[in-house]
Structures are given as structure tokens and as C-alpha cells.
Amino acid sequence: MAAKKPAKSKAKKSAKPKTNRPLVVGTATAKPGTKATGWLQLAELPDGQPLQIPVIAVRGAKPGPTLWVEACIHGDEYAGTFIIHEFIRRLNAKAMSGNVVAVPALNITAFQAGKRTSPFEIHGTGDLNRNFPGSADGTVTEQMGHAIFSAITKTADYLIDFHTGYVRETRWLLYANVEGEVGKKSERLARAYGFDVILPAPPTTLGASAFMNAAKRGIPAIIVESGGFGPAFDDRIVADSADRLVNVARMLGIVPGKPAERGKLTYVADFAWVNSRQGGLFRPTVLGGQRITKGDVVGRFYDLYGELVEEARAPASGIVLTLHPGPMMTTGDTLIQIGVNPREV
Ligand SMILES: [Zn+2]
């Protein structure tokens, strides 16, 4: 009896604080069954002000896994920010078993400037999604990557990173197809999200991205490409993706309810990505999601006299993931991205 009693009370003690522990990310502290907002400091701005990003922490009433959702790692991909806000509005912390951490504007300086990359980067690339896991004493973007990645590895059990393509009908996703359980769980995230075009991304794809580094550290991860950059998205796209996030949260057991089964989905083997070698006025002739065959006309270039200069042709067969919307095309712009070798899984 004497030996049993302390063991019992010890187990009770360790369970209780865990259940009641608040979820803390930066200055956001959410007690069980509540939502809190705050800031996560990444670096410092030229005027000495903190370079910090907004964080929303939703702590379920009951313990469970933590889903981390993030947007605008590329600063002008605003659709993800709105999707995250809509998802958060749909959550009821009191009914949740687990947590959601939402970071709606990761590269905040690029976000403010309406650009993809940081305006303060001089020596590096300034592309935050090429600067993970980052470095505490690197360039400004590497330091941002380091601070964000530290918070991710400390907090997240699953990660969803929102991006956009060029055009509003962009809807496909990648999962981190790494070895073992993490790869399998990443695929489960992808299927619960349920966009019809899915790319299983090998570990060499986007090696310095947040999503692949998270997966390499044992955090199942997907990238969602939903909507177009800048203002190229609408409320229907936002609502659809928020529904899909709720379905992921259901699959993880964070939100109550049975997750929807998606049936067969289309997997692509890789993407073919071609830059334009022609400048001019460009008019696309295909849409995102459309199936095309190598050699099909995907758009036309005109000169400033109104003459047709050239027809752009598909470099590969497959599904259009996204393409340049025109009307202004310089050489080197991304012309088209195609998911190749589609198959049903
Ligand atoms: Zn992006």
C-alpha cells in the first residue's frame, strides 16, 4: 500500500499541470479553452523597432496535438492570410482537443511592401522560404528563418504552409515525402486537405524551405498552393480552404466531428517549370488545373504594334499548376508550371 500511494499521486501531479498549461508563442499566452494574440520577435528594423510578426494561439480545452498554420512566407501571397483568419473564426477553443498556432504574415516586411522578398536583404536572397532552418548570426532573412524555426520546433506537431500561384484558380499541394512515419503523416495531411492535385515532394525539393526542414525535424508538413498572388483570390477560395483546414483539424482529432473522405486524388510525379525566353504582351490560353499535352499552345506573345510574335507551347504534358497571367511578360518570368505524369491514388 505504502509503495502504491506515492506512485498514484505522482501520476496525478504530472497529468494535471500538463492539462492546464497555457500555450505560449512569443507574447501570445492562451489558457485552456481560450484564444490569445501576440507578437513573435524575429529581428530589428533600421529604426530600432522590433521586426515582429503577429501570432494567434488557440489552446483547446483538452490536450492534443498542435497544428501550426502559416502564410505569407512570400510577402505578396495574401490569400493564405485570409484563409488562416477564416479558419480561426471557425474554431471553438472550448470544444477542441489540441491546439492551433496561426502565423498569418511570416515575412512581414515583404508583406508590407507588397513584395515576395524582404526589402532589407542585401547579401542573401531575401526569399524567406529559401532560408530555413536559418542562422542566429546570418543575414536578416536567415535570422528571421532561425527565430521562426525555433518557434516551430518548440511548438508544432504538424505544419501547413500557405502559398499562392500566379492565378486565382491555382489549387494544388505538396507533401514532404520523407522516410518513415513523418512522410506517411504528411501524406495524411495532404489527403485530408484534399486538393485534387498532390505532389509527393522528395527531401531534395525545396531543401531550405520551412516545410521540408520541419519534416526533417519530425514534423509532418504540407505546402498548400491556393489562389493567386496579390489580390488574385476571392471569398469562395478563402471559404473552401478554411473548410479544408477544419477537415485536417478533424482528422488530427483537434476539432470534433468525422473528417470527410476524399476518395481518389491525382498525384503528379514532379513539376516542370519553364521561364519565358520571350518578352512582350502575353495572353494565356489555358487555365490552372487544365490538362495539357506537350506542344499545346498555352499563350501568345504580341508586340507593341499588335502583331503576334510567338505562340508559347507546353514544354511537357500534364496538369497546369499555375501560369503567368500576363499582360506584361519579360524574359525570365515564370511562364508555366506543369505537374507531370498524373495518376490516381
Ligand atoms: Zn510562395
The tens digit of pLDDT for each residue in 22-47 reads 999 999 999 999 999 999 999 999 99
Q: Return the pLDDT at 7.
A: 42
13 pLDDT tier (thresholds 50, 70, 90) = very low
Distance in angstroms (rounded) separating the CA atoms of residues 339 and 317 = 8
Whether pLDDT at 56 is above 90: yes
Q: Give per-residue pLDDT as tens, 292-328.
A: 999 999 999 999 999 999 999 999 999 999 999 999 9
Q: Say if residues 265 and 191 touch (Cβ distance below 8 Å).
A: yes
**Peptide bond between residue 327 and the one before it cis (omega within 30 degrees of 0):** yes
Q: Return the pLDDT at 96.
A: 98
- For helices 180-193 and 235-251, the axis angle rounded to 10 degrees is 140
Query: What percentage of residues in the chain have a pLDDT greater than 70?
Result: 94
80: which 3 cell numbers?
493564405
Q: Tell me the pairing of strands 158-165 and 221-228.
A: parallel
Helix, strand or coil, per DSSP, at residue 227: strand
Count other C-beta atoms under 10 Å from residue 255's C-beta. 24
- Å from CA of 74 to ligand 1 middle: 5
Q: Give per-residue pLDDT as tens, 148-170.
A: 999 999 999 999 999 999 999 99
- Å from CA of 257 to ligand 1 middle: 31
- Which string of b and e fits 18-36 if b means at least 16 CB within 10 Å? eeeeebbbbebebebebbb
Q: Return the pLDDT at 222.
A: 98
What is the DSSP code (8-state) at residue 28? E
- Å from CA of 163 to ligand 1 middle: 4
- Å from CA of 164 to ligand 1 middle: 6
For residues 113-135, give the mean pLDDT.
92
- Å from CA of 50 to ligand 1 middle: 24
- Å from CA of 6 to ligand 1 middle: 54
Phi, psi of 195 (to 5 degrees): -60, 145
Distance in angstroms (rounded) separating the CA atoms of residues 303 and 309 = 6
Distance in angstroms (rounded) separating the CA atoms of residues 234 and 70 = 19
Q: Return the pLDDT at 309.
A: 94
Q: In this predicted model, which residue has the larger pLDDT, 315 or 19?
A: 315
For residues 201-227, give the mean pLDDT.
97
Domains in the chain, ordered, with CATH? 10-263 (3.40.630.10), 268-344 (2.40.50.100)
